[in-house]
Amino acid sequence: MSKKRILIIGGSSKIGLTLINIIKNNFSSNFEVFGTYNTQKTPQLTKLDITDYVMMENTFSKIQPHIVILTAALIHPLTCEENKTLAWKTNVDSVKKIVEECKKINSKLIFLSSDYVYSGKNSLIEETDSLDPLNYYGKTKLEGEKLVSTLEKFLIIRTAWVNDTNPNSKSFVMQVINSLKQNRIFNVATDQFGHPTYSVNLAEMIIELILKQANGIFHVTGSTYISRFEFAQKIAMAFCLNHNLIHGVISKSNSGIQRPLNVNLNLNKLKSIISVNPLTLEEQLNLMRIDYEFDPILKDVKLIPIGKFHDERGSLSVMVSKNRNDAPNFDITQEVYLTEIPNSQTIRASHKHHHIDEFFIMLDGSAKFVLIDDRENSSTYKKSFTTFLNDEFRSALFVPSGIFHIFKTIQNNSKCLAIASKAFDKNKPDTISVEHKFFGTEFEN
């Protein structure tokens, strides 16, 4: 069977880029994929401004797509409110033109819509529930939906809170990570609830809907329903950052426009058709941790997210391995220590080793670690690094010899595992201790 041609309009978007990568890597025998960008020039994508209809007609007649996925849109609610003319032109008028082009060659149109077409309520929302957007962005997405649904073959994907870990991305996950890495307070709404969605999971679900030749309107998101505030805290924990910098605010004080506060989407229609599972937030963050490149600032120091495999019996994690990248990889492990610490605010370590390299993992509870590089020939000599380990999203912190390190428990009943490259030898002391104040105010706070 000949391959179907898919045109992704907005190939430079978070969702578009992910779709292109997954189709190219995993579905190249089913589809030939073409993508477009507008302002963000991207290798292998062609230029298309959807408000330029001549360019649009040329793109359609050149590619003659069987399937069009429309991700391009003006997506920031505040921008749409402030520039209504541009929002309508991009999110409504251009959709009308794309629908016309699809009608000409009988293409199927997959339209990325939003949970902002609802005003939100305290019970589960079905695809057939009434639509009453609260802001202009939501209104334009609803108008787009109406146009798309005049086609014979279409999919309307109502998604929400889409994230990726692309270093240049402005996704919520990357905003939280970048802010906390710079030690900045991150204000976030405590009263706005929704479904975080990982772009990879979303793309896989959309592709399965296409393969199953589904038609109509679908909620397509992650399965966890959570507040923005708790979501931000989970991000901090998953990426070993300081969750105390996340400050809860009431949503109205955070931005000038109205947003739906409780959009709890029923995913049953989606689940009845596809076999790919909408992921829980924990599953999404564990995958994002693997995709994300941790850069712990000090030379040779590493943070390794430890994989966790769940089934009905519980979970399984690999704590040391010779050949995995989701576990500490130690050629030589000579000793493994377990410290059980009943009280929070308890300080341990406060030393460096001459020859011993170590991995630290919090088995229970959480702790703040501060490291200072004391290796004179290191490019990060005298620099310090602070990180936070916890038992919910376990990471292994690798501390090579020559780096001073200290940690302080944050919770009662914490347990820390230390995996050492050399056994303790009382005849050859390897430890140089320092007072806590050596680690400065960064540690005290």
Residues interacting with ligand NAP, by CB under 6 A? 10, 12-16, 37-40, 48-51, 71-75, 90, 112, 114, 141, 159-162
Q: What type of residue sits at position 331?
A: D
Strands (DSSP E) contained in 49-138 are 67-70, 108-114
Closer CB to ligand NAP, 52 or 208, in the complex: 52
CB of 72 vs ligand NAP, minimal distance in Å: 3
CB of 153 vs ligand NAP, minimal distance in Å: 19
Closer CB to ligand NAP, 16 or 260, in the complex: 16
Burial call 132-145: b when 16+ CB within 10 Å, e when fewer: ebbbbbbbbbbbbb
Q: For the chain, state the CA radius of gyration.
A: 25
CB of 196 vs ligand NAP, minimal distance in Å: 9
Decide if 255 contacts 78 (C-beta within 8 A).
yes
CB of 82 vs ligand NAP, minimal distance in Å: 15
CB of 364 vs ligand NAP, minimal distance in Å: 34
DSSP assignment of 257-290:
S---SB--B--HHHHTT-SSPPPPHHHHHHHHHH
Residue nearest ligand NAP, CB atom distance: 13
Closer CB to ligand NAP, 145 or 358, in the complex: 145
Closer CB to ligand NAP, 72 or 301, in the complex: 72
Closer CB to ligand NAP, 39 or 253, in the complex: 39
**What are the φ and ψ backbone dihedral angles of 76, each rounded to 5 degrees?**
-85, 115
Q: What type of residue sits at position 393?
A: F
Instruction: For strands 67-70 and 347-353, give the pairing.
Output: unpaired
Closer CB to ligand NAP, 116 or 439, in the complex: 116
Instruction: For strands 335-341 and 366-373, give the pairing.
Output: unpaired
Q: Mapped to the 3 state alphabet, what secondary structure does 375-433 carry?
A: CCCCCCCCCEEEEEEECCCCEEEEECCCEEEEEEECCCCEEEEEEECCCCCCCCCCEEE
Closer CB to ligand NAP, 16 or 296, in the complex: 16
Give the up-direction half-sphere exposure of residue 336: CA atoms within 13 A in the CB hemisphere.
Answer: 10
Closest CA to 164 of 38, 308, 21: 21
CB of 284 vs ligand NAP, minimal distance in Å: 13
CB of 61 vs ligand NAP, minimal distance in Å: 18
Closer CB to ligand NAP, 72 or 241, in the complex: 72
Decide if 161 contacts 172 (C-beta within 8 A).
yes
CB of 68 vs ligand NAP, minimal distance in Å: 13
